[in-house]
Amino acid sequence: MTDPAEPAWPQFSQGRPVAGTGWKQPPGQPGAAVPRPDDPTVVDASLIPAPDPTPVAAEPAASKLCLQCGGEVDTDGYCTQCGAKAPTEREHFEESPAAWVGAVCDRGVKHARNEDALATDADEAMGSRAVLVVCDGVTTSTDSDVAALAAARAARDVLVEGRPEDMGTPASRSAAVSGLFARAAAVANDAVAHHTAAGEKNPAACTFVAALVLDNVVYAGNVGDSRAYWLPDSGDGAILTRDDSMAEDSIASGVPRKQAETAADAHTITRWLGVDAADVVPQVASMHVPGPGWVLVCSDGLWNYASEPSEIGKVVSDAVGTANSWREKSRQAIAQPPATESTVSTPVEIARAMVNWAIAQGGHDNISACLARVGDKPVPAAPVVVDGEIATSKIMPSGASQTDQPSASANGVREPVAATTAYDPITHEPVPATTPLEG
């Protein structure tokens, strides 16, 4: 074999090739690994220089995962596998303040910005204490995405003060909670105003809905058309809030819900937060958790596709199935999943599946879904009502006329309503029932 360092170069000297030194083909492999072009066994592909094995994106920081395919998101904001655009923090965010609470807020498909916002808080023990707030910014107003997020967070920060230990007896609690909701809405309204420039022609505006879970009692209040639902694992669910919208006004006057909610002006809201808002005191209702189920707080980007409690209840149960199958898939992807890895999906995964479902329906609006899982453990009996005032009210049932709702009190706060656990005499499933009012 020729010494690679000692090739014999074909010589050209004094204008004449040196005899016998011609370079028809190179001898051996001088110097660096030069392929032998005369070797018929060498395949062409091997003559091409080897590719650099360095990965394209050497950024180790990209730990965000793609919502579409689970691939890694590059620092350029797109998935390294499927190329899907990763949403910004504002376009898609998730919260899970405790294992039984999860929330997902997403831009959807059709809107350029995510003007929905949410904020949550919770204590560790299921059913003990949770705050779920959604604000849906009005698209036609300026900076409503910024204002809605500020409003949701400001309201949350007020509602976290609602701690059972600070609120005395269950009877005095309802009054305290009504005051808390009123203050939360007022602070949220201030936050919207704070993000509105003086003289703005389209001042920022947003809806407000909040649910406060305290010792298995759910309080819900709203301004606008974002909603809170009670969705039990079995039996009928209920809408805990009453929209401030043209549609709801029609329903109140007897138009069927489906027809009212698909009318041209259905989405025109009659109350909102913003510098031009007249009345921002939420109506607050309450319900004692009757059994296992979900408290859902959401924007119309979700409920537009499933308004009836029975419909949206099915969306939740389907989402549980979807989220469980994701979990199973990701478990299978890992050779040996840690023993601690649960096979049961979390509320935030279920909320994500619900948001994906809404996107699959067209994602015409921004989508917010906050879920709190309650009632898995036996629930203590409903608190005994000591106050004398009794109203014959119940949780607003789907499609029902709302004429039997308690009238607003002088300060505009609807009296909280409590539900005891009532059981269907035939199915023995818990159902929301007519209950006496807490003070």
Partner 1 sequence: MATFTSTVYQNEFLPDGGTDVNAIVRLGVSGAGRAGASGKAPGEIIIVDTSGSMGQVNMAAAKNAAMTAVDTIADGTFFAVVAGTHEAYLAYPMVRTGRGMVEMNPRTRAEAKQAISWFNAEGGTAIGAWLNLARALFGSMGDALGNKHALLLTDGEDRDESQADLDMAIRASMGVFQCDCRGVGTDWIVSEIRKVSSALLGTVDIIPDPSRMAAEFASIMQASASRGVTDAELRVWVPQGAQVLFVRQVSPTVDDLTARGVPVNPLTSGYPTGSWSDEERDYHVGVRLPAKALGQEQLAARVQLVVDGQPVTQGLVKATWSNDAALTTRISPEVAHYTGQTELAAAIQEGLAAKASGDEAGATTKLGRAIQLAVASGNEEATSKLKKVVDVVDAGTGTVRLKRAVDKADEMALDTASTKTTRIKG
Nearer to partner 1, 49 or 254 (CB): 49
C-alpha triplet 95, 101, 105: angle, nearest 5°:
35
Q: Is 254 in the site for partner 1 (CB under 8 A)?
A: no
Q: Which of 1, 16, 41, 201 binds partner 1 (CB under 8 A)?
A: 16
Written as one letter, the residue type at 116 is D
Q: Is 56 in the site for partner 1 (CB under 8 A)?
A: yes
Q: Is the dihedral of CA 8, 9, 10, 11 positive or negative?
A: negative
Nearer to partner 1, 83 or 168 (CB): 83
Total residue length of the chain: 439
Give the C-alpha separation, 232 to 372, whole Å. 11
Q: Is 31 in the site for partner 1 (CB under 8 A)?
A: yes
- Closest separation in Å from C-beta 205 to partner 1: 25
Contact criterion met (CB below 8 Å) for 141 and 129:
no
- Considering only residues 296 to 335 of the shown chain, the ones binding partner 1 according to CB under 8 A are none
- Closest separation in Å from C-beta 40 to partner 1: 10
Q: Is 88 in the site for partner 1 (CB under 8 A)?
A: no
Q: Is 52 in the site for partner 1 (CB under 8 A)?
A: yes
Q: Is 35 in the site for partner 1 (CB under 8 A)?
A: yes
Nearer to partner 1, 82 or 263 (CB): 82
Nearer to partner 1, 79 or 396 (CB): 79
Q: Is 69 in the site for partner 1 (CB under 8 A)?
A: yes
Contact criterion met (CB below 8 Å) for 180 and 172:
no
Give the C-alpha separation, 79 to 70, whole Å. 9
Q: Is 41 in the site for partner 1 (CB under 8 A)?
A: no
Contact criterion met (CB below 8 Å) for 59 and 74:
yes
Contact criterion met (CB below 8 Å) for 68 and 326:
no
Q: Is 17 in the site for partner 1 (CB under 8 A)?
A: yes
Lay out the site mask for partner 1 across 192-231 (x = CB under 8 A, - = otherwise): ----------------------------------------
Query: Where is 312: in which H helix or E strand?
Result: helix 309-333
Q: Is 7 in the site for partner 1 (CB under 8 A)?
A: yes
Q: What is the CA radius of gyration of the chain?
A: 31
| Phi-psi region at 298: left, alpha or beta (left = phi > 0; alpha = psi -120 to 50) | beta
Q: Is 48 in the site for partner 1 (CB under 8 A)?
A: yes
Instruction: Pick the stretch among 80-88, 174-182, 238-246, 283-291 that binds partner 1 (CB under 8 A).
Output: 80-88
Give the C-alpha separation, 294 to 351, whole Å. 11
Lay out the site mask for partner 1 across 97-126 (x = CB under 8 A, - = otherwise): ------------xx----------------
Q: Is 13 in the site for partner 1 (CB under 8 A)?
A: yes
> What does the block give as tokens for 175?
């009054």
C-alpha triplet 267, 271, 275: angle, nearest 5°:
120
Residue with tokens 């707080």: 297
Q: Is 263 in the site for partner 1 (CB under 8 A)?
A: no
Nearest by Cα to 209 from 160, 282, 270, 107: 282
Lay out the site mask for partner 1 across 349-388 (x = CB under 8 A, - = otherwise): --------------x-------------------------
Written as one letter, the residue type at 216 is N
Q: Is 55 in the site for partner 1 (CB under 8 A)?
A: yes
Give the C-alpha separation, 369 to 94, whole Å. 10
Q: Which residues contact 52 (CB under 8 A, 6 or more apart)?
A: none
Q: Is 256 in the site for partner 1 (CB under 8 A)?
A: no
Q: Is 12 in the site for partner 1 (CB under 8 A)?
A: yes
Nearer to partner 1, 12 or 412 (CB): 12
Instruction: Pick the stretch among 22-30, 149-157, 221-229, 376-384 that binds partner 1 (CB under 8 A).
Output: 22-30
Give the binding site for partner 1 (CB under 8 A).
5-18, 21-26, 29-35, 37-38, 44, 47-58, 69, 74, 76, 78-85, 109-110, 363
